[in-house]
């Protein structure tokens, strides 16, 4: 018996996303690429003139946003084509060309903010009263004023923008190795059957009931990265050095400050999260002990952390998952559910299933002028349903933001994005535990509840264990480079192994190198300067907001929908405070750990309590 993954061409069209709604063909994309290339120099005429008067500034915003709008669609189409099959050389070429033109657009508009700062915010704010079309830019001016000390001259900003494309090279190399070139020795189960390992199915293999299959999947997957550890270490080192360079070029005191301050996130938010995570590690140690007892293992290994706790692993079809998601999100109202259901079932928002060469992980993407797009590898289980709910949260966040907000506030940043995604999971999980529709998929109520809790723990494991640990790792490797110290495959692996050892405690049998190499398995996250900690803050805020709705707090639904519609029109902490959660306080993180501890208690009750 051998299980293989299909080629992209063998995936039925109805299970793929509708990239043709962006451009009908690669040829149409190429025609728009050429047209934009011809039109891009038209922005040159604005240099030195955008602050002549209010009318000139309106003309600049309209012209530059039109160019960015077109570039966004070009970039999205190419990225989706590439992400669906990273071994497709035509798609690789499209993506490379798209990255180049997006960088050229960023360079072409880079003179604007230095000119605005030079003009002075007193004048700019006075123009808001003079010209009605400028009124919507009030918050943009506020944001720019907050960042003004770190915006360099037009010449320097142009160079920094132009560097965006070549600076992505190290991440691009890591990604192409990860998604296209890296090959893994097949896993083997206890019966001797072999299973191909890909980025699309590794999580499914790690949750398989067969312990030998989990073990060989874990080991062979890690060994694939260990074989290229020096190459990947050089890629990540280059990425960290680029972060440090940009931070210094923009006059920030550290890479951490350069990541947080432009996004208006106070540094104490990061440090408070890490401190709270560290203080709650005993809850994780207790969880590993409960799993060990529930599984009746003499020794508990890292590859047992997602071993199923029931003999029957609930299976569900994609449409069933959509129904459950919509039921869980029904408190948000008819519009939310109708749009979400249509997107998942009719409008082909979702690229559903694994194929060879498909980009690892799951994500949601979209730009103004398109509907959202979701990439995932649905494996017909509750974990796949949860992933779909998560990415749908991102997509609906974008849907409502782009429906309400002008182009300038289309973005809202990861700090807010991870709230919407985790919120969906929290809501759906609560509905499943309350209603336990076990009979719909032919399992017992107890088995169903355990499966839902296992999904919850898997989610907390990623966002409240893996990501905070990676955040600590990220801080240390950046600080080492800032101190002039070297990064190597060995010292990064040793560092991360030690951090994970603290999280696993003494009750888990620990494979130093195979756990330590985990840093190499995040080719996107660790190249996005201090990105990962926001998963933990996001899951904290998400549970706080979901609980308000589940408790029927007055106006909680309205406030949450307003949160989704705000986009970047307010500072992120203000957006969350208005929705009902304050992340300047450790309380939301502590509350999320209490929810996590409650799941641990319930799991113990269902699996090992008499």
The model's confidence at residue 154, banded by pLDDT at 50, 70 and 90, is: confident
Radius of gyration, alpha carbons of the chain: 24
Q: What is the DSSP string of 570-600?
A: S-HHHHHHHHT--TTSSHHHHHHHHHHHHHH
Per-residue pLDDT for 42 more than 70? yes
pLDDT tens column, 488-533? 999 999 999 999 999 999 999 999 999 999 999 998 889 988 999 9
Q: Which helix (H) or strand (E) holds 329?
A: none
Q: How many CA atoms lie within 13 A of 42 on its CB side?
A: 15
pLDDT tens column, 412-454? 988 999 999 999 999 999 999 999 998 899 899 999 999 999 9
Nearest CA among 545, 520, 529 for reference residue 482: 529
- The residues spanned by each domain of the chain are 2-167
Give the number of other Cβ atoms within 10 Å of residue 196's Cβ.
17
Per-residue pLDDT for 200 more than 80? no
Do 98 and 79 touch, CB atoms closer than 8 A? yes
Do 455 and 386 touch, CB atoms closer than 8 A? yes
Tell me the three-class secondary structure of 208-273, residue by residue. Answer: CCCHHHHHHHHHHHHHHHHCCHHHHHHHHHHHHHHHHHHHHHCCCCCHHHHHHHHHCCCHHHHHHH
451 or 312, greater pLDDT: 451
Distance CA 87, CA 92 (A): 7
Report the relative pairing of strands 194-195 and 187-188 from DSSP bridges: antiparallel
Give the Å distances, CA to CA, from 474 to 379, 479, 533.
31, 9, 9
Q: Region 275-290: what's the mean pLDDT?
A: 96
Per-residue pLDDT for 610 more than 60? no
Q: Which helix (H) or strand (E) holds 188?
A: strand 187-188
The model's confidence at residue 163, banded by pLDDT at 50, 70 and 90, is: confident
- pLDDT of amino acid 3: 60
What residue has token string 């002549």?
52
Q: Region 551-560: what's the mean pLDDT?
A: 97
**234's tokens:** 């050089």
Rama region for 488: left / alpha / beta (φ>0; ψ in -120 to 50; rest): beta
Tell me the three-class secondary structure of 19-43, residue by residue. Answer: HHHCCCCHHHHHHHHHHHHHHHHHH
pLDDT tens column, 116-151? 999 999 999 999 999 999 999 999 999 999 999 998
Is 257 among the catalytic positions? no
Distance CA 152, CA 110 (A): 10
The model's confidence at residue 609, banded by pLDDT at 50, 70 and 90, is: low
The residue annotated as part of the active site, out of 305, 391, 454, 482, is: 391
Average pLDDT over the chain, rounded to an integer: 94
- pLDDT of amino acid 438: 86
Burial zone of 23 (CB within 10 Å; 0-12 exposed, 13-18 middle, 19+ buried): buried
Q: What is the CATH number of domain 2-167?
A: 1.20.140.70
**Three-state DSSP state, 463:** helix
Q: Which residues pair with 351 in a beta bridge?
A: 375
Output the pTM of the full model.
0.87
Do 436 and 556 touch, CB atoms closer than 8 A? no
* Cα four-point dihedral sign 355, 360, 364, 366: negative
Do 345 and 70 touch, CB atoms closer than 8 A? no
Q: Outline where 85-210 has alpha helix (H).
A: 89-108, 112-119, 121-130, 138-147, 154-162, 164-167, 169-176, 202-206
Nearest CA among 290, 160, 264 for reference residue 601: 290
Q: Where are the beta strands (DSSP E) in 378-457?
A: none
The model's confidence at residue 1, banded by pLDDT at 50, 70 and 90, is: very low
H helices, E strands: number in the chain? 27, 6
What residue has token string 């506030």?
409
In this structure, of 59-68, 376-385, 422-431, the range with the lowest mean pLDDT score is 376-385
- pLDDT of amino acid 5: 84
Do 525 and 559 touch, CB atoms closer than 8 A? no
Angle at 462 between CA 460 and CA 468, to 5 degrees: 95
Distance CA 116, CA 64 (A): 14
Over pLDDT 70: what percentage of the chain? Answer: 99
Distance CA 139, CA 264 (A): 13
pLDDT tens column, 217-258? 999 999 999 999 999 999 999 999 999 999 999 999 999 999
């Amino acid at each position: 018996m051998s299980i293989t993954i299909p080629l992209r061409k063998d995936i039925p069209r109805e299970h793929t996303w509708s990239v043709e709604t962006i451009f009908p063909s690669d040829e149409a994309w190429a025609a728009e690429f050429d047209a934009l290339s011809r039109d891009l120099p038209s922005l040159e005429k604005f240099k030195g003139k955008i602050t002549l008067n209010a009318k000139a500034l309106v003309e600049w915003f309209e012209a530059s946003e039109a160019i960015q709008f077109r570039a966004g669609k070009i970039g999205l189409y190419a990225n989706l084509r590439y992400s669906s099959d990273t071994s497709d050389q035509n798609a690789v070429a499209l993506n490379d060309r798209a990255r180049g033109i997006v960088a050229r657009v960023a360079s072409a508009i880079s003179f604007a903010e230095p000119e605005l700062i030079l003009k002075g915010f007193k004048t700019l704010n006075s123009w808001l009263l003079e010209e009605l079309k400028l009124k919507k830019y009030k918050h943009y001016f506020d944001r720019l004023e907050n960042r003004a000390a770190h915006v360099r001259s037009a010449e320097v900003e142009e160079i920094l923008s132009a560097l965006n494309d070549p600076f992505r090279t190290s991440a691009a190399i890591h990604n192409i190795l990860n998604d296209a070139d890296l090959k893994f020795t097949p896993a083997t189960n206890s019966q001797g059957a072999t299973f191909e390992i890909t980025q699309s199915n590794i999580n499914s293999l790690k949750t398989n009931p067969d312990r030998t299959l989990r073990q060989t999947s874990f080991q062979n997957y890690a060994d694939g990265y260990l074989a290229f550890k020096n190459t990947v270490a050089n890629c990540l080192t280059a990425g960290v050095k680029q972060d440090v360079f940009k931070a210094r070029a923009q006059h920030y005191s550290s890479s951490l400050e350069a990541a947080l301050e432009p996004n208006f996130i106070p540094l104490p938010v990061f440090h408070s999260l890490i401190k709270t995570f560290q203080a709650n590690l005993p809850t994780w140690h207790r969880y590993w002990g409960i799993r060990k007892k529930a599984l009746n293992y003499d020794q508990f290994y890292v590859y047992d952390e997602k071993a199923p706790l029931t003999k029957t692993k609930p299976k569900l079809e994609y449409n069933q998952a959509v129904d459950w998601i919509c039921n869980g999100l029904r408190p948000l109202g008819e519009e939310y559910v109708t749009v979400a259901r249509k997107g998942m079932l009719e409008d082909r928002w979702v690229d559903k299933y694994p194929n060879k060469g498909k980009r690892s992980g799951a994500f949601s993407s979209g730009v103004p002028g398109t509907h959202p797009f979701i990439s995932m590898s649905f494996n017909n289980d509750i974990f796949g349903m949860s992933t779909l709910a998560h990415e749908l949260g991102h997509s609906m966040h974008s849907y409502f933001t782009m429906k309400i907000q002008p182009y300038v506030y289309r973005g809202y940043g990861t700090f807010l994005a991870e709230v919407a995604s985790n919120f969906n999971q929290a809501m759906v999980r609560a509905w499943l535990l309350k209603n336990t529709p076990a009979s719909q998929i032919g399992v017992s109520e107890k088995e169903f509840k355990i499966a839902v809790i296992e999904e919850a723990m898997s989610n907390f494991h990623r966002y409240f264990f893996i990501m905070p640990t990676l955040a600590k790792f990220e801080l240390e490797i950046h600080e080492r480079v800032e101190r002039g110290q070297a990064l190597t495959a060995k010292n990064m692996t040793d560092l991360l192994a030690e951090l994970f050892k603290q999280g696993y405690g003494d009750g888990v049998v620990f494979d130093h190198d195979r756990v330590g190499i985990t840093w190499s398995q995040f080719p996107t996250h660790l190249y996005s300067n201090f990105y990962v900690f926001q998963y933990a803050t996001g899951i904290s805020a998400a549970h706080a907001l979901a609980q308000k709705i589940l408790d029927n707090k007055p106006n909680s639904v309205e406030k949450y929908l307003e949160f989704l519609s705000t986009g970047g029109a307010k500072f992120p902490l203000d957006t969350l405070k208005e929705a009902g959660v304050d992340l300047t306080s450790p309380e939301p993180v502590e509350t999320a750990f209490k929810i996590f501890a409650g799941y641990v208690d319930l799991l113990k009750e269902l699996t090992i309590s008499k």
